[in-house]
Each structure stands twice: as structure tokens, then as C-alpha cells.
Amino acid sequence: MTDAEFALWLNDEVEANRITEGQRDDLLGQKATFENQRSVIEQDHRNQIVGFVAGQMQVAREIHALLDSSKSQFPGRMIYFEPIGFHLL
């Protein structure tokens, strides 16, 4: 999904009242932070899941570990994540 497609999808989610404008903006910010560090992330975190929440990088080998850790450290914040070097499904 391109950045433009991601932003459009998030706008659709806002319009359908599934997320707030603040949550959309938070996710777009986390994705931008991820993109700014993508080359280092892809080099250093192969076969891991990397996310950003509240401007902080989170790394785990399993999605549930990443989400649980992020939720406990930053309750109520949105997280943008990607698997590095593999597909989740």
C-alpha cells in the first residue's frame, strides 16, 4: 500500500467513524517516522515486526508480543507496524 493509499484508507475510516481524526493523524505520524528510518529498520530487524507508537520503536518476533507491549507502555495510542522480510499472512 502506498503512502497515498494508506492516507485515503485512513480518511475512509474517519468518515465511517471507525477512528477519530486524531487517531488518523497519529497513525500517519507513526508511519512517517517508520519511513524515515526504513533503511536502518530493514537492515537491523530482518524477520521481526517493527512498529512505532508514541514516536518510539517497538520490535518483536510475534505480532501479539508487539501489540501487548505497545498497549501496556502506551495505552490508548495507535501503532503503525510492518513485518520486515516476511508476510504476516
Average pLDDT, the chain: 95
Q: Give the global pTM.
A: 0.90
Residues contacting 10, CB < 8 A, separation 6+: 19, 24, 27, 28
Say what percent of the chain tops pLDDT 70.
100
In this predicted structure, what is the pLDDT of residue 53?
Answer: 96
Say what percent of the chain tops pLDDT 90.
92
User: Which sequence spans correspond to the domains of the chain?
Assistant: 3-84
Per-residue pLDDT of 60-71, as tens digits, reads 999 999 999 999
CA dist., res. 86 & res. 50, Å (int) = 12
Residue 89, pLDDT > 90, answer no
